[in-house]
Structure 1
Amino acid sequence: MTDQPRPPLGGDARPVLQAGAALLADGMWLASTLDAARRAVIDAHRVLAEPQIRPRLAELGIERLRESTGGRVRLAGLPEAGFLTVGDLVDADPARLDAVPGIGPQTARTLRAAAQQIADAVAASVQVRVENDPENRETTPLVVAVTRLSRLLPAAKTLKVLPDQVVPALQHDVAAAAPTASRIGWLFTGRDRKDAATIAYWRVDQAARWASENRIADRVAAVRSIAEAPPTAAEAWSGFAADPSAFYTLLGETVGLRLDVAAVEGYLPSEIVERIQALRLDDEYSNVNLRGYQSFGTKFALVQKRVILGDEMGLGKTIQALAGLAHLRAQGQTLFLVVCPASVIVNWLREIRRHSRLVEFRLHGDGRDGALNEWLARGGVAVTTYDTAGALDLPADLRIAALIVDEAHLVKNPEAKRSQLVGRLGKQADHVWYLTGTPMENRVEEFRRLIKRLQPAVELDFSAVDALAGPARFRAAVAPVYLRRNADDVLLELPELVRKDEWCEFTVAERRAYDDAVRSGNFSAMRRASFSSTDPVACSKINRLLNLVSTALANGRRVVVFSYFLSTLATVTAALRESGVCPEVLGPLTGSTPAAERQAMVDALSAPDGPRVLVAQIQAGGVGLNMQAASVVIICEPQVKPTMETQAIARTHRMGQLNNVTVHRLLTDDTADERMVEILDVKTELFDAYARTSAMADATPAAVDISEVALARQVVAAEQSRLQLPLQ
């Protein structure tokens, strides 16, 4: 006999039973809706993948079935009956296969199952690339299906416990509690069943109370409203163009796209991989869906604690680091510190807000002391620079949950003050993560010095001479502390563009020049204020540009730098040469450059031993020239016409491009750059145009462009109002 109190009966019990039944129905609807949405993605993907799957299966002879069945399947008689490949068996009519002499029904079922298993494995490895073409009727169903799923999942995220835990329990309890609905029926119910009904009733009651307290019905209704209003094709394509990476991430998770596992895992030894895979990330404070390789990188940093994340540029090292901080915050840790060059501090602050629910603090410039005290009291992510970090009044006994050192190759010199500072901060941190896109395989001694600072106790059995043995030897030696993946290894879809807005901050001299331009209402001078000098200390955009070019060249990439202004082109060219980052620069290629010279510059950029950076005026270099040799594009300022940017980018991203193309657009915080982006975003759907192929942009320029005069008036007026600087 149960020790629980007797349940209400009849009319007193029915409200609870009805609430339990309604909750069960909601949970089952939610599960089936999400399953159907996922199935729609899988089916749409399979339709596009099928043309690639069939030829591959046709190349696999039936003898491959022995591998998947352990050699226990009979193949005799199949070739004579016309079954020569795995593809033949996948498409086989069951009756025809059963009729093959020596192949009975059991063997036929085994053959078909083995063939289908191989077909599924091939399907999982097929790369489906979606071109940004809203008129493509074949790919539209997949784009719509992924978009619908992407809308449902966030809304259903907080309801995960409903289909996973509540529904399985209610399926039993609602039925078991049924005898309580009738007083007369209860009288004729046996003791064992009464005990079971009593226990079940109170569990249904508990579930109903939980649902009421957490407004589960309202939250399910919100998901239902999303499910009943599927995205239009136009909405789906617009979302894809705005964020193709999110599209491919969700697609890969849903259909189980298979990457080169060894590449994703950075060729780490199995014992480290096992520890990493055992960790489950907590995303309570995260706003980003990680790709598989990014999730692995985050867990690598968390498990190994003091590491270098060295992924190739464009693979999301910042996102991986922020996901790691979000996990630590969910585990109760509170104090995180980012040390970075001044040129990227604004980027970090924006990325923290965008990709996490963590609070950010700027420990740089005016107000840094107050921000420091607030960070110490509240916790969050403090962002500071190499120069400022040394001046911070940090408590001697402070423990930092995680220290992130961005552009970590800048601390390779042990004698430099910044290197010594990072070393001291590292001793106060439980986790230390160095981020650098500069490959280390050919910089063994620099790498050794970084490791010595990061993990003094680690002795690397590796020398410069050993580098000749190739990357496998290097990876094995540095596995505990270094993870690097290349884009071609982990981006199945080779996305059309990896776009990054690089936010910079004015120096004092730049701010003075900019304010003067605003006072005079000189729109052109406002846009050029960030390129008044070749000195990276005096010019924030030059500083960022030199870093980007240096990293690109270190990764074997070729670069095209675009600007609208001739003076900016001259400044950039001089800065590249004077800094030593790239002494041999092609250009500037301008509107006055003869056609033959233009083509000669492009040909030189493509030459194996030729210069690796071309500087070009966006009006001239953006039309009629093919620059596929370059895979990094730097745009020095936002353009008045979005199509101008789109066409320039299309010079590198076109047929014949073998690498993913990374586009960096240089922007200055709180200036005309930001006003231009805001206005163009609202009035012309700039970001949509920015991601489109050149064919689409060429076809509809009037739909996305805006008058330069109108834009100039709006931007100048907005800046004069914001800065309270009237027109002179």
Structure 2
Amino acid sequence: MQGEVPPRAGRGIREWCEQGAGLHEAARSLRADHVGAVAAVRAAYEPLQAELVGRELESIPVARLKDATDGRLRLGAMEEAGFGSVRAVYETSRYALRQVPGVGEQTADRALAAARQIARAVAGTVTVRVDVDHPEPRTTALVVALHRLVEAGPELSRALDAAERLDTRLGELLPAARPAGGRLRLALAGRERRERALAAAAELGDLLADAAATDVRLLLAQASTDLLRPAVPDLEAWVDFELRPAEYYGRLTEVSEQRPDAAASEGFVPSEVAERVHAQRLDDTYRRVSLRGYQEFGARFALVQQRVVLGDEMGLGKTVQAIAALAHLAAEGHTHFLVVCPASVLINWAREIRARSTLRAFTVHGPERHDAHAEWHERGGVAVTTFDVLHTLPAPDGTPPGMLVVDEAHYVKNPDTRRSRSVAAWTERCERVLFLTGTPMENRVEEFRALLRHLRPDLVPVVSDTDAAAGPHAFRRSVAPAYLRRNQEDVLTELPALVHTDEWVELRPADRAAYQEAVAEGNFMAMRRAAYTDPETSAKLQRLRELVAEAAVNGLKVVVFSYFRDVLDSVRAALGEGTLGPISGSVPAVRRQQLADDFTAVPGHAVLLSQIEAGGVGLNLQAASVVILCEPQVKPTVEHQAVARVHRMGQIRAVRVHRLLAADSVDDRLLRILARKERLFDAFARRSDLADATPDAVDISDVGLARRIVEEEQQRLAEHAKAGTA
């Protein structure tokens, strides 16, 4: 006897099935669109990879084929026939090899199999790099194909995850639920089938309600639209690549499936720690940027281990890993977070949080710090404060921040200082604490013990000088529960050789007063170097010292460029003895070259100072891997040529370019005006032969730009003064 048909069966469930079928089709379409976009990238990538593999195989003697066959291969006949390299065999057909006198069927097959085995091994070692200064049709095709994936943004990954889940689940639910879409068909179905259909229909209804609440349809539709956009013009793709090369290389890594050594990219942590980290899901709902594989691991490590030191080498994105962890915790329901950092990077942190996530950032510093703290306390978000201000903030009442992040954590190595005591008080209250430092702790075991006393006092007795003496890998394994460090050579195999970072700072009172005076006088050049008026308190000089110090502990050479000789004099005084230069217009060419040679000859860390128009042309400074620009340049080509002295053919390390910028100043104004120029024209002109010969031809007028900036700054400061906020 058939059971009674529930009243919800029939039309309502039929509508659910129709909606589910539409959602299923949207999910399947997105997955197909993504497959097509990935195929386009692979089609452009594979010829470039094949060429690199071919070059490597060309350098391998054909005799090495014996190594892949345990010496059982006879190659005399092939060598006599002119097969001198593995490449010659690899690119020859089976039929052609068999035509060689003395080469039988078995020998030909074994030789080809050995050549292919070696080629697969070589393919895992070569890295396709995109030379932005020498574009050619094949690399242009790759950049254009990648542009579609990059432009889709981090939402693409979220949409693909949703599409995969929906494709799988709806593929099961729809056939099972359809019998419940007709009252008669359901009534005639057996009891067991009817119950299955109704259960599937109920789950389908829940799935559709959840999809509607989270706008999944819109997410899928937008992702498909992004993947189906027409290819952009070549030049536009190249310009975009220059603006965000790391995102292009990140997508290329995903598509090409080339990964750095897993153990190295995971900091050589023990397998049991790595397994826990891999099992941690990373929610990107509140994140605006895609992460590299090693960066995802770092963010997950911080979440899983809860109280850790992230000690990645400078330039690997410690800040974005911290922001990713904060964004994940926000998605889990945590509302308040606290970042403590030196004053020199305060503005940078606030800007990065706003750019890389949807979290609110509050700068708790300066005269209005108490108001900012109160607003953070009421509204939630990320409070960014300094070591010197932290002790003035009221202790958290009730629930502490979801995570405390301490940047440049080596600042708190001395437990007797006020900053260390303040940090210690907050770390005791917070369940999750993330210390960031680019200083290699295995070289400073006592410093590391000091940091562990804040985070994991139980591990302090475990850390010994013996572990450090055994080498960095052994040290990292011994302290794996609380320390993760990756070096650039471990994870940057596919990254571009040039990474730009804008270092934003706030003008200190003395520099601010000098700046306002220069604006009032209409003195453009004085405005540009006002940030160095008081070397004792200059925020730019403070940040410069920190960058140089971090480069020193990592054994990296640094070139510091400025347009102004007096700025370089201040830098020299700030850095002390041992600084080379400055190279300036008054230094003869022979002496300039001698300074560059002396810089190259210094073993390990060294610093060279140079006026940008004197050292930016003609000299080879590729011994350096860190460039610091003391101020933005009026002519973009001047900056470009100076960086090119370091980032050039033969450079074996990634080059990090740090541009020091003062917020609410001529620096900010200059960048905004230059950004509004026709950047496509600039990029085209800069690559043309004419522009290389006469770079001034594509730069805007110094006089016109200076006049415009002075006028705009005078107006802005006048408005602030009128409002009582100057």
Mapped contact 1:134–1:234 kept (Cα < 8 A): no
Structure 2 partner of 1:131: 131
**Which whole-Å CA distance do the structure 2 matches of 1:3 and 1:135 have between them?**
72
**Which whole-Å CA distance do the structure 1 matches of 2:503 and 2:179 have between them?**
67
Structure 1 partner of 2:623: 629
The yes-or-no answer on 1:147 pairing with 2:141 is: no
Structure 2 partner of 1:604: 598
Give the superposition deviation at 1:113. Answer: 9.6
Show CA shifts across 1:92-130 (max 9, x none): 559999xx9997xxxx9x999998787556434431111
Q: Report the CA distance shift for 1:8/1:121 in structure 2 as closer, same or farther (over 3 A).
A: farther
Structure 2 partner of 1:594: 588
Residue 459 of structure 1 aligns to a residue in which SS?
A: helix
Q: Report the CA distance shift for 1:143/1:576 in structure 2 as closer, same or farther (over 3 A).
A: same
The yes-or-no answer on 1:613 pairing with 2:607 is: yes
Q: Report the CA distance shift for 1:691/1:178 in structure 2 as closer, same or farther (over 3 A).
A: farther
Residue 139 of structure 1 aligns to a residue in which SS?
A: helix
Structure 2 partner of 1:652: 646
**Which whole-Å CA distance do the structure 2 matches of 1:549 and 1:718 have between them?**
34
Structure 2 partner of 1:580: none
Structure 1 partner of 2:724: none
Show CA shifts across 1:314-343 (max 9, x none): 111111111111112222222211111111
Letter in 2 for 1:518: V
Give the superposition deviation at 1:544. Answer: 1.0
Structure 1 partner of 2:550: 551
Show CA shifts across 1:320-367 (max 9, x none): 111111112222222211111111110110011011121111111122
Structure 2 partner of 1:39: 39
Letter in 2 for 1:708: D
Show CA shifts across 1:287-326 (max 9, x none): 2211111111112222222221111111111111111111
Which is further off, 158-167 or 55-64?
A: 55-64
**Which whole-Å CA distance do the structure 2 matches of 1:454 and 1:180 have between them?**
57
Mapped contact 1:337–1:404 kept (Cα < 8 A): yes
Residue 443 of structure 2 aligns to a residue in which SS?
A: coil
Structure 1 partner of 2:575: 576
Structure 2 partner of 1:520: 521
**Which whole-Å CA distance do the structure 1 matches of 2:416 and 2:13 have between them?**
78
**Which whole-Å CA distance do the structure 2 matches of 1:33 and 1:218 have between them?**
16
Mapped contact 2:5–2:187 kept (Cα < 8 A): no
Structure 2 partner of 1:348: 349
- Root-mean-square deviation (CA), in Å? 4.0
Matches within 5 A, 1:117-516: 122-133=122-133, 135-152=135-152, 154=154, 156-157=156-157, 159-160=159-160, 163-171=163-171, 195=194, 220-226=220-226, 227-395=228-396, 399-464=400-465, 467-516=468-517
Letter in 2 for 1:43: A
Structure 2 partner of 1:542: 541
Structure 2 partner of 1:71: none
Letter in 2 for 1:698: D
Mapped contact 1:559–1:613 kept (Cα < 8 A): yes
Matches within 5 A, 1:68-87: none
Mapped contact 1:132–1:693 kept (Cα < 8 A): no
Give the superposition deviation at 1:405. Answer: 1.2
Q: Report the CA distance shift for 1:389/1:175 in structure 2 as closer, same or farther (over 3 A).
A: closer
Give the superposition deviation at 1:668. Answer: 0.3
**Which whole-Å CA distance do the structure 2 matches of 1:306 and 1:313 have between them?**
21
Give the superposition deviation at 1:701. Answer: 3.3
**Which whole-Å CA distance do the structure 2 matches of 1:481 and 1:339 have between them?**
19
**Which whole-Å CA distance do the structure 2 matches of 1:41 and 1:570 have between them?**
49
Mapped contact 1:411–1:450 kept (Cα < 8 A): yes
**Which whole-Å CA distance do the structure 1 matches of 2:697 and 2:237 have between them?**
19
Mapped contact 2:582–2:609 kept (Cα < 8 A): yes
**Which whole-Å CA distance do the structure 2 matches of 1:695 and 1:317 have between them?**
39
**Which whole-Å CA distance do the structure 2 matches of 1:13 and 1:475 have between them?**
57
Query: Percent identity, aligned pairs only?
Result: 46
Mapped contact 2:29–2:224 kept (Cα < 8 A): no
Show CA shifts across 1:543-576 (max 9, x none): 1111111111121111111111122122112222
Give the superposition deviation at 1:709. Answer: 0.8
Give the superposition deviation at 1:274. Answer: 1.8
Structure 2 partner of 1:70: none
Matches within 5 A, 1:619-698: 619-683=613-677, 685=679, 698=692
Mapped contact 1:363–1:372 kept (Cα < 8 A): yes
Q: Report the CA distance shift for 1:265/1:114 in structure 2 as closer, same or farther (over 3 A).
A: farther
Consecutive unaligned residues in structure 1, runs of 5 or more: 68-74, 578-582
Q: Report the CA distance shift for 1:321/1:161 in structure 2 as closer, same or farther (over 3 A).
A: closer
Which is further off, 260-269 or 197-206?
A: 197-206
Q: Report the CA distance shift for 1:80/1:613 in structure 2 as closer, same or farther (over 3 A).
A: closer
The alignment's TM-score, normalised by the length of structure 1, stands at: 0.86
Letter in 2 for 1:606: T
**Which whole-Å CA distance do the structure 2 matches of 1:504 and 1:695 have between them?**
37
Residue 492 of structure 1 aligns to a residue in which SS?
A: coil
Q: Report the CA distance shift for 1:5/1:210 in structure 2 as closer, same or farther (over 3 A).
A: farther
Letter in 2 for 1:29: S
Letter in 1 for 2:49: A
Q: Report the CA distance shift for 1:571/1:381 in structure 2 as closer, same or farther (over 3 A).
A: same
Which is further off, 458-467 or 250-259?
A: 458-467
Give the superposition deviation at 1:530. Answer: 0.7
**Which whole-Å CA distance do the structure 2 matches of 1:566 and 1:490 have between them?**
38
Give the superposition deviation at 1:605. Answer: 0.5
Matches within 5 A, 1:12-23: 21-23=21-23
Give the superposition deviation at 1:152. Answer: 3.7
Give the superposition deviation at 1:542. Answer: 1.1
Mapped contact 1:646–1:697 kept (Cα < 8 A): no
**Which whole-Å CA distance do the structure 2 matches of 1:691 and 1:255 have between them?**
32
Q: Report the CA distance shift for 1:210/1:629 in structure 2 as closer, same or farther (over 3 A).
A: closer
Residue 513 of structure 1 aligns to a residue in which SS?
A: helix
**Which whole-Å CA distance do the structure 2 matches of 1:716 and 1:539 have between them?**
22
Give the superposition deviation at 1:628. Answer: 1.1
Mapped contact 1:89–1:115 kept (Cα < 8 A): yes
Residue 640 of structure 1 aligns to a residue in which SS?
A: coil
Mapped contact 2:288–2:355 kept (Cα < 8 A): yes
**Which whole-Å CA distance do the structure 2 matches of 1:180 and 1:414 have between them?**
69
Residue 382 of structure 1 aligns to a residue in which SS?
A: strand
Show CA shifts across 1:147-174 (max 9, x none): 1122346554554466323334555666
Show CA shifts across 1:262-289 (max 9, x none): 2111122222222212212111121221
**Which whole-Å CA distance do the structure 2 matches of 1:289 and 1:308 have between them?**
22
Number of equivalenced pairs:
706
**Which whole-Å CA distance do the structure 2 matches of 1:175 and 1:194 have between them?**
12
The alignment's TM-score, normalised by the length of structure 2, stands at: 0.86
**Which whole-Å CA distance do the structure 1 matches of 2:201 and 2:429 have between them?**
55
**Which whole-Å CA distance do the structure 2 matches of 1:304 and 1:12 have between them?**
48
The yes-or-no answer on 1:563 pairing with 2:556 is: no
Which is further off, 365-374 or 18-27?
A: 18-27
**Which whole-Å CA distance do the structure 2 matches of 1:726 and 1:302 have between them?**
43
**Which whole-Å CA distance do the structure 2 matches of 1:40 and 1:723 have between them?**
52
